[in-house]
């Protein structure tokens, strides 16, 4: 059975053994977007949402989620994160908010899932805080942009070409 196999001889899933790996600096960057009505975006950016500071709460929830990824994704290893940053870029023309998460750790396994979870939960928090204004919001394009560290080395997503 190879180290990358996640199933035993009986076909049961299991965690990959990372015990023999050495700890290295690991980083991952993920992004995603949440689309909404222009009035909803205006409420968020002007601080007019009744529940409070939408982006501030979304930032905290994304950070908290990154720290608890192994509790949410069954076969993820617990990782001691050294840094999680979440930034938001409102797009007035596209009526959306882009979410960008960067995660770092010095550990034996990567932090890609932590970055993806941070983006996803931040987007869902925005939805939750604004759903009374706009139930038609939708989250899209949650994806890994870049990761570094570990045996597999550096990965950078190729830029998308617009048609």
Tell me how far apart the alpha carbons of residues 154 and 158 are, in angstroms, rounded to a whole number. 13
Burial of 37 by CB count in 10 Å (0-12 exposed, 13-18 middle, 19+ buried)?
middle
Catalytic residue among 17, 87, 128, 134: 128
Instruction: Please give the C-alpha separations between residue 69 and each of 52, 131, 137, 151, in angstroms, as whole numbers.
Output: 26, 25, 24, 21
Contact 37, 116 (CB under 8 A): no
Token pair of 153 as six digits: 């080395």
Known catalytic residue: 134? no
CA 45-48-51 angle, to 5 degrees, is 110
Select from 135, 128, 143 the least CA-distant residue to 98.
143
What sign results for the dihedral spanned by CA atoms 37, 39, 43, 46? Answer: positive
Supply the residues annotated as catalytic. 128
């Amino acid at each position: 059975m190879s180290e990358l196999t996640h199933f035993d001889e009986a076909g049961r899933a299991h965690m990959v053994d990372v015990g023999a790996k050495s700890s290295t600096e690991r980083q991952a960057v993920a992004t995603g977007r949440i689309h909404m009505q222009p009035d909803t975006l205006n409420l968020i950016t002007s601080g007019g949402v009744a529940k409070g500071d939408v982006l501030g709460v979304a930032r905290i929830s994304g950070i908290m989620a990154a720290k608890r990824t192994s509790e949410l994704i069954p076969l993820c290893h617990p990782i001691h994160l050294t840094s999680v940053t979440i930034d938001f870029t409102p797009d007035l023309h596209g009526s959306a908010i882009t979410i960008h998460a960067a995660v770092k750790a010095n550990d034996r396994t990567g932090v890609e899932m932590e970055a993806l979870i941070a983006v996803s939960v931040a987007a869902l928090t925005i939805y939750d805080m604004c759903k009374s204004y706009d139930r038609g919001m939708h989250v899209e394009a949650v994806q890994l942009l870049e990761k570094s560290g570990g045996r597999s080395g550096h990965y950078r997503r190729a830029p998308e070409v617009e048609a």
